[in-house]
Every structure is written in structure tokens, then in C-alpha cells.
Structure 1
Amino acid sequence: MSIDRETFENTSEDELADLSVPDQVLGFLAANEDRAFKAREIASQIGVDEGAVSTALSRLKDRGLVEHKATYWAVTNDAGRLDGYCGYERATALFNDQLGAEDKDSWREHAPQEPHPSVKDEQ
């Protein structure tokens, strides 16, 4: 996954090295907690090999941090479990530093009122 130049210059090597593939996957899923993704979609979004993402997802599932249904993956809605995982905190902090903290109210103002047509077909 690429990072911007400011993050590159202002982040220590230890902090950059600490963000493992499972941390990146979990951070991405947590940032998109209202959606579920296929492994290849996650890999494409975070810039990591699909095989590495699949392995990370399996390990995160074993820890109860993600949920799996058919070919889709989503972050758990068990806040206590997420709070107990320090990698989640590192990933969230790094994404917040890079992208700014998420303002859910602002996001909701611009969110479509209707689900995507593909979601309607599945209901």
C-alpha cells in the first residue's frame, strides 16, 4: 500500500514497519464497517497480494475479528473484540493520520438513500 510523502517523511521506520498485512486488512474493513468485500477487492484497495490478504483474513477470522459469508468478508461488530486487538488501533491511527478522522455524520449526508441495485437483488 502506498503512503503519501508527508507520512513518509514524518513517520518513523518502526511505525511504518508495524502495520502488517492483517493490520492493513482489518483497518480497511473497519474503515468500511458498513460493507462486506471479497478478498480480491480488499487486496486491490490496500495494494497487497490477494494471497496475503486471504491468509490474513483467515487468521483474523480465527481471532474473531472478521466475519465470513460465502465469498464476502466484513469486520466484526463486536467492539470489545476489536478494542482488544492492538493492531486495529495502530491501523486506525495510521489511517486517521493519513486521511483524517472519519466524520460519519458528514458521510451520511452524502450517502445514497437507496442501496446499490446489486444489494436490492440479494434481498
Structure 2
Amino acid sequence: MPVDFETHDPGDPRVDLSEGTNARQLLEFLLETPTVGYTPAELAEETGVPRGSVGPTLNRLEAAGLVRHKEPYWAIAEDDRIASAAASFLGIEAAADAYGDDWYAQNDGWDEELPDLSDEERD
């Protein structure tokens, strides 16, 4: 992912956990089995994250306190933040499963006839 070179701080422990990122894929997989450790090769095979990206991504996750490492194994960190992240991921996934195929998803263009309220006078 390209970054703004002038503002990029390699010591910054923040990690992009947006859907589809390698960090998100690894973290979600590790959240499924919090007491199990995996080698980078196993994680690459299980998640589909390219082998060359697994190590650097795990290092960023470790710097952010989200995973733990006992050579050569990696596991999810033991921290309340992890439980919170897991609840968020699982909640979003549950909502998507429940409502991802609702009337709006089945009817493209449903929003085309909505009035533009941004130009309306406020009372």
C-alpha cells in the first residue's frame, strides 16, 4: 500500500485493519483460535496472505500489541483490546450475514429516487 513518504513513521504502531488487508485477514484467523500458535508458513497457507507479507504484517501487529510471538509461532495477544476487536469483527460479520441480502441489496438503484435534502431550507 503506498504511503505519504513525508508523514510515514515506521515506528507508528497503528495498523490498518480495514476489510481485505493482510493484517485484518491474519488477525481474524488468529482470533478464531486464541490459544493456538501458528508458524508464518501455516498462516500464509490458512489465510491466503502471501508468504512474503506474513512476517512484516505480524511484526506490525506485534508492535501494536495485537499478537504475541514465541519463535517460530504467532498467536493472538492476551489483552482486553483483542476481545473488543473480536466482538467488533464478529458483530459486523453477523450483521452482514443477517442483512447482506435484504431488499435493498436485491434492488439496485433503490436510492436513485430519494430527494436530495442537502438543498432544502431548514425550518
TM bin (shorter chain): 0.5 to 0.7
1:25 corresponds to:
26
User: Which aligned pairs between 1:1-123 and structure 2 lie closer than 5 A?
Assistant: 18-78=19-79, 80-83=80-83, 85=85, 89-90=88-89, 93-94=92-93
Uncovered stretches (5+) of structure 2, i.e. residues with no partner: 1-17, 98-123
Which residue identity does 2:56 align to in structure 1? T
Uncovered stretches (5+) of structure 1, i.e. residues with no partner: 1-16, 99-123
**What number of residue pairs does the alignment pair up?**
80
Over the matched positions of the two proteins, sequence identity in percent amounts to 29
2:104 corresponds to:
none
Change (3 A) 1:69 1:37: same
Shift of 1:90: 3.6
Shift of 1:84: 5.8
Change (3 A) 1:58 1:88: farther
The TM-score, its normalising length taken from structure 2, stands at 0.54
8 Å Cα contact 2:25-2:49 kept in structure 1: no
The TM-score, its normalising length taken from structure 1, stands at 0.54
Change (3 A) 1:65 1:48: same
Q: Distance in 2 between matches of 1:56 and 1:50?
A: 10
Which residue identity does 2:88 align to in structure 1? E
Q: Distance in 2 between matches of 1:52 and 1:96?
A: 30
8 Å Cα contact 1:40-1:50 kept in structure 2: yes
Larger radius of gyration: 2
Tell me: higher relative CO, structure 1 or 2? Use CA pairs within 8 A at least 6 residues apart: 1
Change (3 A) 1:65 1:96: farther
Shift of 1:91: 7.0
* Higher share of residues assigned helix: 1
Q: Distance in 2 between matches of 1:58 and 1:46?
A: 17
Q: Distance in 1 between matches of 2:71 and 2:95?
A: 30
